[in-house]
Amino acid sequence: MGRSRRPATALEAFFDLERFLARSATAHAGLPELERESERRGREVLRLALQAHLDGRGHGDVGPALVADGPDGPVRLSHKRLHTRRLLTIFGEVSVTRTGYGARGQPSIHPLDAELCLPARTYSYEICRRLTRAAVCGPFAEAIALIADMTGVVVPMRSAEAIVKDAAADFEDFYATRAGKAPGPREILVGAIDCKGIPMVKPDGAQKVVRRRKGEKANKKKMATVAAVYSQAPCVRTPEEVLDSLFASPDAPARRQRRPRPAAKRVWASLTADKDSFIADVRAEMVRRDPRHRRTWVMVTDGERALQRRVANTFKGVTLVLDLLHAMDKLWKVAYVFNPEGSPGAVAFVRDRAERILTGQVSQVVKGLRQMVTKRGLKGEKAKTVRDVANYYYANRERMLRPLPQQGLADRQRLGRRRVQEPCACALRTLRHALDRRCGRTRPSAARRLPLR
């Protein structure tokens, strides 16, 4: 199945594809080879068809001269010359020859560029769109390899970073000018804020270190602030229902409760904005949705005291709720002090204390943990782990079960679990998947992709 000369027209390329498939049937070629070669030849058919279309559009000649606006008034561009530029598309490389109008000391203007919506760079807008979508889901190297595999176009790393940076240029302005969707009559407005450390690689030209100091890591982390805002209809759940969803056995019959899904969810993150400015942006998003504060507002955070203070200062009079998943992580740490990891005893330990927390007995859980340190004679790291968790619960006890106006216990117990916090947790999972990879990124590079994620 040797390759013949390269076809000159799309019709020749199509006939070449037909002949290849006919020869493959005689040679009993396998499907993998057929797929790869048919894709390559089919892409050539489309490339030549696109090239023929561009050639048929003419050169964009609009007359003997063109008058354009200049800094000192109208400028007459009467010097005409044909210019050819190459363009990399999803089908391969094509060329566009167009008429340029210029004058001494003035850049040339090509009317055909505006008619065809040609990009300023070599890569077509469709290549840029696909590269951006791939880059926000993983490392740049994987995005470049994916585009090369799909289109045959290899985009250098520096160009890929510039394309993604341009794609994120209007992110803040877009959300600042659009009208937010107001919550429904029975919905609450939820905001969730969290922080995530992202490993950074050293930029090019950074000073090399012969030997790192004790405890120093190759890639330092930069904290990204993550937020989610959405509307949520109330979903009353008992502590038992919450525990069943947390500790459901694979063999137990599934008891699915139809719950309303979050509406008008927006999730975003930033590496460059300071926390106060970022929290102010979250409040601005919630104000756009509920300008007169007619709905109940709820803010979900983890147990970081500095973050909680910033949120409380910005959202005065708003209910603050501790993320239950963060609280559960602490319980598991204590459980593994007294039980082997993954043992039934550890599961029973966590379930018992989680049930007490959900029924409003946070102070009793704190008291019990502190007594365990004394009664069991814990020392060293084990004692420190249990005391730290007890202090964590004590410091956040008001945010773990805080009554809302005209709401009962069952209503407020659902606030710290799943449907309130899932969007922020989803954003963190996206960040971990996309940025906590083997290849970290420099701060400017990561900051470009975070808004798009």
Q: What is the mean pLDDT of residues 372-383?
A: 90
Distance (Å, whole) CA 434 – CA 271: 14
Name the β-bridge partners of 31: none
pLDDT of residue 219: 61
Q: What is the mean pLDDT of residues 245-266?
A: 73
Distance (Å, whole) CA 386 – CA 341: 16
Work out the pLDDT band at 154, boundaries 50, 70, 90.
Answer: very high
Q: What is the mean pLDDT of residues 224-231?
A: 89
pLDDT of residue 316: 85
Tell me which of 281 and 201 has the higher pLDDT: 281
Spacing of C-alpha 395 from chain mean position: 32
Work out the pLDDT band at 42, boundaries 50, 70, 90.
Answer: very high
Q: How many beta carbons lie within 10 A of that of residue 7, not counting itself?
A: 17
pLDDT of residue 370: 93
- What are the residues whose beta carbons fall under 8 Å from the beta carbon of 8, sequence distance 6 or more? 48
Q: Among the ranges 254-268, 291-305, 363-377, which has the highest mean pLDDT value?
A: 363-377
Name the β-bridge partners of 299: 191, 320
At 321, list the tokens: 């709720």
pLDDT of residue 418: 39
At 23, list the tokens: 């020869």
DSSP of 186-245, one letter per residue?
TPEEEEEEEEEEEEBPPPTTPPP-SSPPTT--SS-EEEEEEEEEEEE------HHHHHHH
pLDDT of residue 446: 57
pLDDT of residue 216: 64
Query: How far lies 172's CA from each of 177, 295, 361, in Å?
Result: 9, 25, 43
Name the β-bridge partners of 86: 95
Tell me which DSSP letter residue 451 carries. Answer: G
Distance (Å, whole) CA 389 – CA 370: 9
Tell me which of 18 and 207 has the higher pLDDT: 18
Give the model confidence (pLDDT) of 101-111 as tens digits.
Answer: 999 888 899 99
Q: What is the mean pLDDT of residues 355-365?
A: 88
Q: Is 99 helix (H, G, I), strand (E, B) or coil?
A: strand
At 198, list the tokens: 């992202």
Q: What is the mean pLDDT of residues 121-129?
A: 94
Torsion over CA: 68, 70, 74, 77 (sign): negative
pLDDT of residue 72: 81
Q: For the chain, give the mean pLDDT.
A: 82
Distance (Å, whole) CA 346 – CA 342: 7
Spacing of C-alpha 49 from chain mean position: 37
Give the model confidence (pLDDT) of 315-329 as tens digits.
Answer: 988 888 887 888 888
> CA torsion, points 58, 62, 64, 65, in degrees to nearest 10?
-130
pLDDT of residue 423: 45
Tell me which DSSP letter residue 446 carries. Answer: H
Short-list 53, 129, 41, 133, CA closest to 91: 41
Distance (Å, whole) CA 154 – CA 147: 7
Distance (Å, whole) CA 355 – CA 238: 10
pLDDT of residue 1: 45
Query: How far lies 323's CA from each of 32, 246, 295, 366, 422, in Å?
Result: 49, 14, 21, 17, 10
Work out the pLDDT band at 97, boundaries 50, 70, 90.
Answer: very high
pLDDT of residue 427: 47
Contacts of the segment 49-56: beta carbons below 8 A, 24+ positions apart: 49/10, 50/89, 50/91, 50/94, 51/94, 51/95, 52/9, 52/10, 54/94, 54/95, 54/96, 54/116, 55/97
Q: What is the mean pLDDT of residues 174-181?
A: 72
362 within 8 A of 353, measured Cβ to Cβ: no
Give the model confidence (pLDDT) of 246-255 as tens digits.
Answer: 887 665 555 6
pLDDT of residue 87: 95
Work out the pLDDT band at 402, boundaries 50, 70, 90.
Answer: very low
Q: Which of 270-274, 283-287, 334-338 has the lowest mean pLDDT?
A: 270-274
- Provide the whole-model pTM: 0.67
Distance (Å, whole) CA 353 – CA 387: 15
Work out the pLDDT band at 145, boundaries 50, 70, 90.
Answer: very high
Query: How far lies 207's CA from each of 83, 203, 204, 429, 444, in Å?
Result: 44, 9, 9, 33, 18
Short-list 328, 319, 270, CA closest to 299: 319
